[in-house]
Amino acid sequence: MANKKFNIKKGDQVMIIAGDDKGKTAEVLKVITKQDAVIVAGCKIAKKAVKPTEENKDGGFQDKEMPIHISNVKKVEA
């Protein structure tokens, strides 16, 4: 399988052009080439249930950024 190349890299500023967070501008935290997706700081937040552990005695819910397809973001020149 050929390696995919994207013009968006970790640390770039991008604007969300589709979905619930349309119009937001934020930084890319991670690029997932196998899924053609990126994780953007503060966008597409989901609640994740967490069981109690030794570090987190209470458990409960945790906010987590979910991947956004790379076609739904546009690089913004800073």
Q: What domains does the chain contain, in order, with CATH numbers? A: 13-75 (2.30.30.30)
Q: DSSP letters along 54-65, please? A: SS-SS-EEEEEE
Q: Which of the pair, 78 or 37, is modelled with greater confidence?
A: 37
Overall pTM > 0.85: no
Averaged pLDDT for residues 28-50: 95
Among 22, 6, 19, smallest CA distance to 70 is for: 6
Is the pLDDT confidence value at 36 over 90? Answer: yes
How high is the pLDDT of residue 34? 92
For residue 37, pLDDT beyond 60? yes
Closest of 78, 70, 4 to residue 39, by C-alpha = 70
CB atoms within 10 A of CB 28: 21
Residue 54: its pLDDT value, please?
92
